[in-house]
Amino acid sequence: MSDPYRILGVPPGATDDEVKTAYRELAKKYHPDKYAGSPLADLAGEKMKEINEAYDTVMKERRSRGSSGGGYAGGSTYGYSQASNFSDVRSYVMSGRVADAEQILDGTPQERRDAEWYFLKATVLYKRGWLDEAYNDFSRACSMDPGNLEYRTAFNRVAGQRSGMYGGDDPNARRYGGCDGCDVCTSLCVANMCCNCCGNGYGC
Amino acid sequence: MFGYVRPQKFELLVREYDEYRGVYCSLCKELGKRYGLAARLSLNYDCTFYAVLMLSVRKDGTAAFTKGRCCVNPLKKCYYCRRGGNGDIFADACALTVILTYYKLLDNIHDSGAVKKFLYGAVYPLAARKHKKAAAGFPEFEGIVSGAMETQAKIEKSDKPGIDLCAHPTAEMISRILEVSAGKLNTGESTARIFRSMGYNLGRWIYLIDAADDLESDIASGSFNPFAVKFSLGKKSGADEISAAKKYANGVLNMSLSQIAEAADLLGLNSLGSITRNVILKGLPQMQKELLFKKEKTNVGPI
C-alpha cells in the first residue's frame, strides 16, 4: 500500500486530531451515501476503502494497541428486504445492466406502474445522466408512497443536488460582502493554507 | 456554445493563473503552427479547459512552463507549456477547437438573419479548409462531433422533446471525446470511466447553460429552445415566467454540476488539478449566477 499519510493528505508529524479531521473530510467527500446511485459508486467505494485502511494503519501505528475502528463502512447501503414486484429489474440495476433494466421497465403496462416502478425508472435515468426526468420520477415515487424510506432518501439526495448543496449556485443563499466564494470552499482554502504552513508540502 | 467553461479568476492563485494562461497561450501558438494564423481566432476557454484537464490527469510528471513572448503581441510576455510529451494533448485540443468551431459556424449560418449569414458565409471557406485538415488527421473526433450534430438536428425537429433528450447529443459528444482522449493518454480503465460520466454531465451542463442563456433571444426570434418548449414560452410570455424558467434551469444545472464534482473527486489529479477544481467548483457556478440571475454580466469578460 502507498504511504497512508499521503492518502490522508497530512504530514507524518500531524497530531492525532489533525489526522482525524483530515480523515473525516475525506470520508465525507467519498461517502457511499453521496455516491449512491451514481455510475461511479464502485470507484468511490474503493477510494473509501483506501482511506479507511490508511486511517486504520496510521491509528494502529500511533496507538500500537489494536485498531481504532470507527471507520465508515464502504459499499452501498440499499435495503431491499421488502417484497418487490420488480426484483429482476433491481438485480439488473445492481449488476450494472442498465439497458436491460430499462427495457423491462418500459415494457411494463401503464396500470402496473406503481411507486416502485417510478423509483426504479428514476434510478435508471439517474445512472444514465438524465437528471431532470430522474428528479421528476423520484418525486413522483415519493408522492405515491410517502412512507417509503428508500424512495425518500433517493429523492432527498437529488433535491439537495438541485438546490446547489453539492456544488452549483443557490440563488437564495445570501453571502457576506463582495466575495462569492461559498463558505465551505473558503474555509477549505484556509485549511489548505494552514496545511502548507507546516512546510511539508503535502498540498491537499 | 463557447466560453462557458472557465475558471473563476479571482479565486485562482497567482501560480495557477500563470499556468492557466500558459496553457491558453500554448494552445494559441499550436493552433497557429498547425492550422495557420487565422485559426488562432478560434481559440476558446472551453478547449483550454480540455487541455488543462488532460494535462492534470497525466501520471508521468506535471507540465513544465517556460517564459516567452506572446505571438500576437511581441511586447507582451507570457508563459508557455513545455512541449515535452504534451504535444499530443495540444494536437488533440487544436483539432477539437477547429472541428467544433466549424460546426458552430455552420450552426450560426443556419440560424441567423441575412446580414449575419453573409458575414459568417464570408469566413466559411477558410473554416471549411481548416476543418478538412483537422477531420482528416483526427477522424475519431470528427465522427463523434458530426454524429452529435446530426442527432441534435433530428431531436429539435421532433415533437416537444424533453430537456434530457435535447441535452443528450452534446452530453454524449463530450463524454465520448473525453473517453477517447483518456484512452490515448493510457490513464487506465477507471479514469476512462470517470471521464465518461464527467464528460456526459459537462456536455449536458454546456448545452443547458447555452440554452438558458439564449432563452430570451430564442423566444424573440422563434428559434428552438428546450426551456421554451418545456414551459410553453412564447413572445407573449412575461418576465416572471422567463425568470421562473431560468430558476428551474439553475436547478437542473446544479444537478449536473454535482455529478461533475463527484466524478472529479475520484480523478487522481496532479498539481494542475487545482485549476481543474477551480473551474468545476467555482467557475461553472459563477457562470450560472452571472448568466441566469444578474442583469449586468460583470465577470464574463476576458480572463
Give the three cell numbers for residue A110: 401503464
Residues of chain A contacting B259 with CB distance shorter than 8 Å: 38, 129, 131, 161
Upper half-sphere CA count for residue A197 (Cβ side, 13 Å): 7
Instruction: Determine contact: B297 vs chain A, CB below 8 A.
Output: no
CB B251 within 8 A of CB A139: no
**What pLDDT score does B144 carry?**
95
Contact B254 A181 (CB under 8 A): no
Give DSSP secondary structure letters for A32-88: HHHHTT-TTHHHHHHHHHHHHHHHHHHHHHHH-SS----PPP-S------S--TTHH
Interface test with A, best of B202, B254, B276 (most A CBs within 10 A): B254
Amino acid type, B158: S
Taking the C-alpha atoms of residue A40 and residue A25, their distance in angstroms, rounded to an integer, is: 19
pTM of the model: 0.81
Percent of chain B residues topping a pLDDT of 90: 57
Provide the mean pLDDT of chain A.
78
Residues of chain A contacting B255 with CB distance shorter than 8 Å: 131-132, 135, 158, 161-162, 168
Tell me which residue in B168, B171, B250 faces A171 most closely, judged by beta carbons: B250
Which residue is associated with the grid cell 512552463? B65
User: What's the rounded mean pLDDT across residues B81-102?
Assistant: 86
> DSSP state, B10?
G
CB A161 within 8 A of CB A138: no
Contact B286 A169 (CB under 8 A): yes
User: What's the rounded mean pLDDT across residues A111-125?
Assistant: 91
CB B303 within 8 A of CB B9: yes
pLDDT digits (tens, 9 = 90+) for B138-148: 999 999 999 99
B64: pLDDT strictly greater than 90: no
The DSSP H or E segment spanning B66 is strand B65-69
> DSSP state, A96?
T
pLDDT digits (tens, 9 = 90+) for B161-209: 999 999 999 999 999 999 999 888 888 888 999 999 999 999 999 999 9
Residues of chain B contacting A39 with CB distance shorter than 8 Å: 193, 197
Tell me which residue in A165, A170, A181 faces B282 most closely, judged by beta carbons: A181
Taking the C-alpha atoms of residue A31 and residue A72, their distance in angstroms, rounded to an integer, is: 8
> DSSP state, B61?
-
Question: What is the b/e burial string over A154-172, where b = at least 16 CB atoms within 10 angstroms of the residue's CB?
Answer: bbebbbebbbbebbbbbbe
Percent of chain B residues topping a pLDDT of 70: 95
Upper half-sphere CA count for residue A91 (Cβ side, 13 Å): 4
Taking the C-alpha atoms of residue B80 and residue B64, their distance in angstroms, rounded to an integer, is: 8
B271: closest chain A residue by CA = A203
A38: closest chain B residue by CA = B259
Taking the C-alpha atoms of residue A18 and residue B215, their distance in angstroms, rounded to an integer, is: 48
